[in-house]
Amino acid sequence: MTANRESVLGVLATLEDPISGSTLVEAGLVKALTVNEGVVRFVMEVSGSHVEAYTALKESAESQIKALEGVASVSIVMTAHSTKKAPPDLKPSRSSEPSGPQKIPGVDRIIAVASGKGGVGKSTVAANLACALAAEGRRVGLLDADVYGPSQPRMLGVSGRPASPDGKIILPMRNFGVTMMSLGLMANDDQAVVWRGPMLMGALQQMLTQVQWGALDVLIVDLPPGTGDVQMTLAQKSDLNGAIIVSTPQDIALLDARKGIDMFNQLSTPLIGMIENMSTHICSACGHEEHVFGHGGVAAEAKKLGVPLLAEIPLHIDIRLAADGGAPIVVSKPNSPAAEAFRSIAKGLIAKGHA
């Protein structure tokens, strides 16, 4: 009988929580359990003051689950939360991160692609930028850190489950010269990721440090929209070289983009530049140009901040069709004006030493 969620929970229900005396399942320590094609993954959330007591239990759980028929590998991420209650500090602080930002072995530079709000085309920009850099001869990785809406597997035409030869190291996928890893490869297309902060941070650190990225000139990180745990963890835990902000021209999008910029300033992350997406639309029937979302708002904001405007990307159906079809427009229509815009960004980043 092939292992499933019930059989794994059956094993965990026999293991005693060293603190409460109840089982791991009864104590509510097992979070985000998934069992897919013989690969078992879950988060074990424990008290920060009892981490050592749970280390042996984690190893025991791994060995017993591996003994189940049909289990190829087991990955347990142990996260710890503090039991002390303190007044909330709304200002990001590096004082709680004694180890400081760490470099990823083999990765020269890390660039975050971010947006203040969803729906501005951030992931489309990240996918095309990664492919454009690869087309320029750079060794490129793409980490889909948009945990609630991972779209890079679809955009890059990648499917299947990443392999893990030892249950710890994860082998990434690759297409169009881009090495890619996404939480979307570990969950079903219609499966929601219902995780709290510690689980998100644990998953991000796992994808940063346990994925076998190899030798990369640049790792592009597609962040979720907004200013949350994932953004803060990336800036505080990794040696982040800079961030690119994507926004559409209208005031509502710029309002949220400013918050994202302020967050990176507070986290001491350099701002590489801004991209105005969906900047203009040219009718395919009559050639009339129309600024659907306004025009020039991002350029004005970049000038105000003293950072470069990297590009103005048009609103064009070919960009959407290419992304939905699993081959970004840089790959599917490399000579189109939209593809040239992304290639121009890539060349500029290389010329300035960012990639």
Residues 132, 231: one domain? yes
Q: How many domains does the chain have?
A: 2
Locate tokens 């002390």: which residue? 84
Residues across the chain: 355
On whether both 66 and 158 belong to a single domain, the answer is: no
Examine the domain organization and report whether 303 and 173 are in the same domain.
yes
Can you give the CATH number for the domain in which 233 is found? Answer: 3.40.50.300
Let me know if residue 263 belongs to a domain: yes
Domain-located, residue 112: yes
Question: Quick one: 75 and 112 in the same domain?
Answer: no
Residue with tokens 């986290």: 267
Instruction: Please tell me whether residues 35 and 148 are part of one structural domain.
Output: no
Residue 178 forms part of a structural domain: yes
208 and 340 part of one domain: yes
89 within domain boundaries: no
Residue 146 belongs to a domain: yes
**Residue ranges making up the domain that contains 39:** 5-81
Grouping H, G, I as helix, E, B as strand and the rest as coil, residue 310 is: strand
Residue whose entry in the numeric block shows the structure tokens 């984690």: 58
SS3 content of the chain, % helix, strand, coil (to 5): 35, 20, 45
Domain boundary among 31, 46, 81: 81
User: Which of residues 37, 64, 81 is at a domain's end?
Assistant: 81
Residues 190 and 119 in one domain: yes
Q: Does residue 88 sit within a domain?
A: no
Residue 46, domain CATH: 3.30.300.130
Q: Can you list the residues of the chain whose pLDDT is less than 70?
A: 1, 47-51, 79-100, 187-197
Q: Same structural domain for residues 187 and 310?
A: yes
Is the same domain home to 315 and 234? Answer: yes
Say if residue 141 is in the same domain as residue 194: yes
**Whether residue 189 is found in the same domain as residue 312:** yes
Position 90 in a domain: no
Q: Does 96 reside within a domain?
A: no
Q: What does each C-alpha distance from 20 to 17, 23, 24, 28, 46 come to in angstroms?
A: 6, 8, 9, 11, 11
Domain end residue (candidates: 20, 47, 81): 81
* Long-range own/partner contacts, residues 150-153 (CB < 8 A, 24 or more apart): 150/182, 150/183, 150/184, 150/185, 150/187, 151/123, 151/184, 152/123, 152/126, 152/127, 152/180, 152/182, 152/184, 152/222, 153/180, 153/182, 153/184, 153/185
Are residues 209 and 326 both part of a single domain?
Answer: yes
